């Protein structure tokens, strides 16, 4: 007969997932762990991200942390740790204008994140977590259905980008 997990067992498992995310961020270069959504400034999109407090494992501001080392790069904004049933996942969030020109800018940022930042020495643990990539619109979503950038957006979505959306619900 399988043992039922107690409330204290669930809490211990969630705490373990929080430690996994925190350690992954602390080992990653240039960024710093913050509890909850504290790494996401209100003026930079915190009001566009909804999450139950019990699933939030912390966050880090990639853009601000990497500004000195990569001053001219198209840097990604944030990573948020989210507790799943058995594992934690890294939710990478870019808050950016969602118009036709935003598609190529977000594409550059996603490429920088995947091909430059997540391959740095020290970022291995963060890169190894199950991950999602989200584009959250900083305003309205205004990409015309017949814009040439729609094809590029379809490719980005095929490669794992979700969005753009007005709000991110975790």
Each residue of 58-105: pLDDT tens digit? 999 999 999 999 999 999 999 999 998 888 999 999 999 999 999 999
Residue 41 CA from chain centroid, whole number: 14
Amino acid 86: pLDDT = 84
Each residue of 16-44: pLDDT tens digit? 777 999 999 999 999 999 999 999 998 89
Whether 17 contacts 88, CB under 8 Å: yes
Query: In sequence order, what are the residues at sequence separation of 6 or more whose Cβ sits closer than 8 angstroms to the Cβ of residue 159?
Result: 110
Amino acid 16: pLDDT = 76
- Retrieve residue 16's tokens: 């373990």
Terminal C-alpha separation, the chain: 34
């Amino acid at each position: 007969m399988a043992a039922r997990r107690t409330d204290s067992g669930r809490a211990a498992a969630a705490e373990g997932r929080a430690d996994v995310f925190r350690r992954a961020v602390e080992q990653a270069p240039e960024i710093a762990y913050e509890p909850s959504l504290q790494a996401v400034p209100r003026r930079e999109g915190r009001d566009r991200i909804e999450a139950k407090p019990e699933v939030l494992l912390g966050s880090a501001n990639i853009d601000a942390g990497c500004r000195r080392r990569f001053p001219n790069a198209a840097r990604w904004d944030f990573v948020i740790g989210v507790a799943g049933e058995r594992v934690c996942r890294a939710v990478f969030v870019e808050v950016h204008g969602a118009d036709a020109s935003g598609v190529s800018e977000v594409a550059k940022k996603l490429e920088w994140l995947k091909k430059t930042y997540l391959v740095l020495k020290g970022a291995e643990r963060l890169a190894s977590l199950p991950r999602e990539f989200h584009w959250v619109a900083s305003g309205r979503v205004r990409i015309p259905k017949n814009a040439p950038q729609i094809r590029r957006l379809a490719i980005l979505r095929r490669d794992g980008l979700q969005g753009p959306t007005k709000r991110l619900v975790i």
